[in-house]
Every structure is written in structure tokens, then in C-alpha cells.
Amino acid sequence: MVKIYPSLLSADFYNLERDIQKVKDIADGLHMDVMDGNFVPNISFGNPIIKAVKENTNIYLDTHLMIDNPEKYIDSFSKYSDSLTIHYEATNHLDRTINAIKEKGIKAGVSINPHTSVYLLENILNVVDSVLIMSVNPGFGGQSFIEYSYDKIKSLKEMIDMKNLNVNIQVDGGVNKDKIKPLYDAGATEFISGSAIFKSNNPGKEIKLMKEQVKWKISILLHQIITN
């Protein structure tokens, strides 16, 4: 199933409630980018914002910890998140940290930066729920999509299929309605999009347009299966 998660980082922080209302009924959740100014060259927001959104909406919260030593913060962030994603590059004990997240009863994901090979994840795939491919260098919204991300997604999809695993592939960075179809074709099923959604005139309509790109592709595939 294809899912779209608008990134709150690109919303209007002076009008967060307004922007969340615009997307909550059509989005599959909100993507919460937590930045510490060390792992990435930016500082965003922390648990108070996530807690406030969780306590005032029913929307799924997909929290992405772009922070050093994420294992120190699993207890606090798991309280208000439905899934937690940590970076391969940010912890020395990835397996232990992933399992600590799952022990909290929420989904666990691992993310890799553009320079990191997907093949480094081979031995961790059997314990994660998702892999987040960063298709920009993390830290700031509105960056241009890195084209070799397609090849990384294809390679990751092949690894997942070879192991017969149920692991979702997420993509974050430069994602818009023109990128959805080729990203889906490469193997991604969950898409994080910030500027393309929140900077549009109609964020809800933008999400709908994104989903329609993939629905069209799925309809063609189903037709081919039935006719053959």
C-alpha cells in the first residue's frame, strides 16, 4: 500500500494547527524530523511538538531521529510516536537500538544518508519494519532530489525480496508528484514530502495528486494481470 507522509518541517510553524488540519484527512500520517545540530547541520524541534500533535489529533506520527546517539532518547520519543526511525550512521549499536524501539510496541525503521550503501543493511533487514532512503543530504527542506537514489532503492528492493521480508521502503528528500511514479517503480511504497505539499496552494489536493500517480500505475498492472 502506498503511503504519503507530509513532513512537518516544511509547515508554517506560526500556524501548525492550520497546516495539520489541511492534510490530516488525506495524509497517511505526519513525518516528524527531529534534528540536533550535530548529526545534521540544523536544529528543528523535539518531543514537546510531537506530544502536542499526538494529544490533539489521531494522525499517525512517523518520527525520524536525525540525532547522534538516538539510543539515549528512545524512552521519551516512543511515548508519542507510532514509529521511530534512527540512522545507521548515528549509533554504534544499531541492532540493540532497533530492538529497544520495538520493545516499546511501535514500529522501528533505519535510515541511511545518500553516501551510505544499502548493502550495509543486509544483516539488519530482518528486524526492521522500514528503511528510509535519504534522497537529499539531511538537514534542510527544499533540496533537489539526488538521482542515484533510484538505483539504491532498486538494490534495496532486490535484497528485501531475496530474503522474502515485509520491509517498507521510504524515501525522503525532493519528493513531489513528478517523482512518485518512478520511485514506486523502483520499489518505494512510502513517501515523505515537505515543501511540495506544504508550500503548495492546496496541500490536501497535492497529496491526492501524488496518490493518483501511483493508482494509475497499479490499475495498469492489474489490467495486465487479468488480461494475461
Per CATH, the number for 3-227 is 3.20.20.70
How many Cα neighbours within 13 Å face the side chain of 56? 11
Q: What is the pLDDT of residues 39-57, one digit of tens each?
A: 999 999 999 999 999 999 9
Residue 30's pLDDT band (boundaries 50, 70, 90)?
Answer: very high
Instruction: Report how far residue 174's alpha carbon sits from residue 192's, in angstroms, rounded to the nearest whole number.
Output: 9
- Res 213: pLDDT: 85
Q: What is the pLDDT of residues 150-175, one digit of tens each?
A: 999 999 999 999 999 999 999 999 99
Report whether pLDDT(124) > 60.
yes
Claim: this prediction has a pTM higher than 0.95: no
> Among 84-93, 100-109, 206-215, where is mean pLDDT lowest?
206-215
Strand 190-193 relative to strand 61-66: parallel, antiparallel, unpaired? unpaired
Nearest to 193 by CA among 167, 213, 215, 166: 213
Residue 144's pLDDT band (boundaries 50, 70, 90)?
Answer: confident
Q: What length does the chain have?
A: 228
**97 vs 122, 165, 221, CA distance in Å?**
16, 20, 39
- Catalytic residue numbers read 33, 172
Contact 170, 188 (CB under 8 A): yes
Report whether pLDDT(224) > 60.
no
First to last CA, the chain: 23
